[in-house]
A = this chain, B = another copy of it.
């Protein structure tokens, strides 16, 4: 990371922890320069970064000060409940999002891609290279369908941090979290079955449900507590739901981490109706607070939680290394895994196991969590600055995506097309719903280290939204006006 970012981190943390009071003068550029042994320019860059994140404000000819506590932007509203299960709508729009932008000038804010250029990933590259060079029987052959044992050993250690205990023989390594989720659904459901899912939710999950021929009952979720237990209870009471699917930690796309009380309520409901829960914990290790929150599986008493995760968000998606702890559904899930793609490639598993075993993982996570949290603040600030006033913004507790809600009539799908012409990609809201809800919402990723084009892109998005909104208002006025001019015909 650049020196100024490191300094901004340090200062930012101090300000956030309340070491300076509102209105208090912050250390001068000269003081910080000599304290940290960095140039004056570096300190000035750090302060400008803190200003962007709303943690410092400049007063001309006086210096930098702690600004008054920010009024946080309003949170997105909870979606409307569905009355019945529905089929998942088509995937053409998801495909658009997945299409690679080969133009390096494109600002990609649409996809949930982590920053894979962090120097803290270098030991992983070393491990990949070493394993590639020696590629022997172990990495070129078919391996255990359950995955490389050395990796499963390490996954058991990570499980402890996530609050549950597991042994290597109860884990199955998968080809990314996508395969874990897909195997879970196909192990539990037949075509025509119903799955209750927190809404909005990960678009890839929607498509898994669609291709499995499963119907979806979208349960509204609020950006603080997650899935509405009241709405869920009504659904379970009335419909033969086969499974519940949730993302309890740093949920995609809303960013909430479910409070303990709600987790207990969710588990109780699942027990009462005897329904399995598919937990997607892919962002669990990227929750900003330390220690990381427990997985829902930590509360699982009878093996009904199938925990799915991967290193796609924490390390790199191209590794395609995920896993599933399928509880009492182990046998069926293992069969699904075998028929889905055979054993997962051993080489990246061996490299990841080495990366974990040598202790590089926590170091990397610490760095990425800080980067993502700081950039969340900065991007939030940009959205406040450049987007229309009525914009609502999520306050994610982890991960690297913001969920943004615009006025109700707005269509982010149309916005997306206009932005692509300008080399900007966003994720429009309706792909996060099985039924095309959230057309007035969008998800913005803040993973990659920001550069000058990032702020330009957010500003451009805001301006384009403003233009669309004002042209709508005008056309409305116009329409009303023209109506007034029409000759009145007597009935």
Contacts and interface: CB of A to CB of B under 8 A. Distances in A.
Interface in A190-211: 190-191, 204, 207-208, 210-211
A353 to B, nearest CB: 15
A319 B140 contact: yes
Given A132-B129, A335-B207, A335-B211, A341 B182 contact: yes
Contacts of A176: 341-342
A127 B347 CA distance: 13
A338 B207 contact: yes
B125 A135 contact: yes
A338 B176 CA distance: 11
Given A98-B145, A339-B208, A137 B125 contact: no
A128 B341 contact: no
A302 to B, nearest CB: 25
Q: Which 4 A-B pairs have the closest CB atoms?
A: A128-B132, A129-B133, A140-B316, A129-B132
A137 B104 CA distance: 11
Contacts of A375: none
Contacts of A174: 341
A338 B98 contact: yes
Interface string A301-344: 00000000000100011111000000000000011101111111
Given A207-B338, A211-B335, A344 B320 contact: yes
A300 interface: no
A399 to B, nearest CB: 16
Given A144-B100, A182-B339, A339-B204, A175 B320 contact: yes
A408 interface: no
Contacts of A94: 338
B317 A141 contact: yes
Number of copies: 2
A133 B125 contact: yes
A131 interface: yes
Given A142-B318, A190-B213, A210-B335, 11 more contacts: A116-B137, A117-B137, A140-B316, A143-B318, A175-B341, A178-B341, A178-B342, A179-B341, A179-B342, A204-B339, A319-B345
A443 interface: no
Contacts of A343: 98
B91 A335 contact: yes
Interface in A141-171: 141-145
A70 interface: no
A188 interface: no
A348 interface: yes
18 contacts: A91-B335, A98-B142, A98-B145, A98-B338, A100-B143, A126-B133, A127-B132, A132-B132, A132-B133, A135-B318, A140-B316, A142-B317, A175-B344, A182-B341, A204-B342, A210-B339, A212-B339, A320-B345
A111 interface: yes
Q: Which secondary structure dominates where chain A touches chain B?
A: helix
Residue among A116, A191, A342, A347 with the most chain B CB within 10 A?
A342
Contacts of A144: 100
Contacts of A261: none
Given A137-B117, A141-B116, A186-B211, A320 B338 contact: no
A316 B136 CA distance: 10
A284 interface: no
A415 interface: no
Nearest to A332: B211
A178 B179 CA distance: 13
Contact of A141 (B124, B182, B316, B341): B316
A364 to B, nearest CB: 13
Nearest to A334: B95
Given A175-B320, A178-B340, A341-B182, A141 B113 contact: yes
A85 interface: no
A262 interface: no
Nearest to A117: B137
Given A142-B317, A145-B98, A335-B207, A345 B342 contact: no
Residue among A125, A204, A341 with the most chain B CB within 10 A?
A341
